[in-house]
Amino acid sequence: MNKKNRFVFLLAIAVLLTACGDDGSVRVGEKAPSIRTKTLADVDGDFSRITTYRYPDKRMYQYSLDQALADGRPILLEFATPGHCTVCDKQLQMIKGLIGEYKDQVLFLHMDQYQNPEAFIAFNVIGDPWTYVIDANGNVVFKQAGRMLYGELAIQLQRVTGKKKPAGAS
């Protein structure tokens, strides 16, 4: 194996080991950190002080994380900073569709790195988007980095709510 091929091989191994290793963030099975985060009420209804998202949905900013955990409903917690991340923007658009379907069963929270950095620190999240699903007992039951598809996330919400797939869904 020549030097170039050996370098590529070692680089590939390093990437695989990094991907399989612990990313340092809150793990599935752990309790979600109960911290105070900003709500829309905290910023007097000024969306620009809570999110960089162009089309925010007020339902994602009604609860602080500690309040949401105390509420006893499952939580979809989205770490996304659409002000510098187009993938985050698309992720939040998709989540807004899920809010309509699960609004009475799941609390939806969006944490923007610029406006709620304490949440990024508490979860040790680096980069975005990151999606966490937290059950009614405050346990992280799912986490994923990167953009998700509607159906992928709906499956996780069905799991924590016991809700069946909508009629006609594949």
The token pair at 169 is 């869904």
Residues β-bridged to residue 108: 76
**pTM summary value:** 0.82
Please give the residue that has the higher pLDDT: either 17 or 139. 139
Residue 126 within a domain: yes
Q: Is residue 19 part of a domain?
A: no
The verdict on residue 130 lying in a domain is: yes
Q: What are phi and psi of 75, to 5 degrees?
A: -130, 135
Domain count, the chain: 1
Tell me the three state secondary structure of residue 125. coil
> Is 1 part of a structural domain of the chain?
no
**Euclidean distance between CA atoms 21 and 99, whole angstroms:** 33
The answer to whether residue 156 is domain-embedded is yes
Domain assignment present for 150 = yes
Q: Tell me the per-residue pLDDT of 34-85, one tens digit each, with 9 for 90 and over.
A: 999 999 999 999 999 999 999 999 999 999 999 999 999 999 999 999 998 9
E strand spans, 19-129: 75-79, 107-111
Judge whether 10 lies within some domain. Answer: no
Q: Which CATH number do you get for residue 66?
A: 3.40.30.10
Per-residue model confidence (pLDDT) at position 24: 74
* Residue 50 placed within a domain: yes
In terms of residue numbers, what domain contains 145? 25-161
